[in-house]
Amino acid sequence: MSHRLYRSTDKAILDAPPPKLFSKAGVGALYIGIVGLFLALQLLGVYLFAPYVFNEQTLTAAQRFGMGSYNGTVTSYAMIFTLVVLLLAIAALIKVRLRQVTLNSSASPGLSHNHSVADYLAIKPFALRIALGIFGLWLLFMFATEAVTYWLEKDPTAFVDELYASADPKWLLIAVMVVAAPIYEEVMFRGILWTATKEQFEGETGVWVASLVTSILFAIIHLQYAFYEMSVIFLLALLLSYARAKSGSLMLPILIHMMNNGLAMWMYLSTQ
């Protein structure tokens, strides 16, 4: 009897969700910090790699940003730099907060060993049945938005022209846009920010608030687009948030995001 009780207790600890890591004020600071770090890393990446790409070490800051921001090679390096540093920073922050919350709580001593960064970010497998349903919704979304885009005579990939023309090698730009960008954007928005927002509320309210807030912010940071394109990005973000909530896994929105960017890049390259 006692043995079964201990086993049940251990299973409850293993199955329990990660502890709440941020207060409401902490979430506000988290948004400012994470988004600020994201923007700063992109600028720093351009600043650091522009002299290397242009083989000119005497470039001023204005020249580095002015020339580098529109160069596909500089942008590729800056995105890889952002990917590495941002993911390390997010992982370190979550790890520190998990340790602090565990030490300051009255929870089981085993908690700190059974919850990890991957648990908090929901980096885990997802059900194929759910994935197929989300994939179907994404296809409908793509068909609908492409039809409206064609009808309105919009060109959402126009900003890529200069980046692609100046990229060397071009495959690197394609890789970072299709693979790297979805990873760090999803870890940011449907990962730490979505989870930290959701845990402030009970039940489905947290899902709705987290999805709306992170989707609005996700659209806003894509400053290279006009209002119509940002509206489409907002709808895509809602779909990715639904994938995150429905599957209980961050891996599904990452996969859908990669497929979305991959299809967009394929359509762009087919016109070149």
Global confidence as pTM: 0.88
SS3 content of the chain, % helix, strand, coil (to 5): 80, 0, 20
Residue 52 confidence (pLDDT):
95
pLDDT band at 72 (very low <50, low <70, confident <90, very high): very high
- pLDDT for 69: 92
What average pLDDT does range 12-20 have in this prediction? 57
For the ranges 115-119, 187-191, 238-242, the lowest mean pLDDT is seen at 115-119
**Residue boundaries of the structural domains of the chain:** 2-269
Residues in the chain: 272
| 82 burial level (CB within 10 Å; 0-12, 13-18, 19+) | buried
pLDDT for 108 beyond 50? no
Q: Is the pLDDT of residue 21 over 60?
A: yes
Q: What is the pLDDT of residue 9?
A: 39
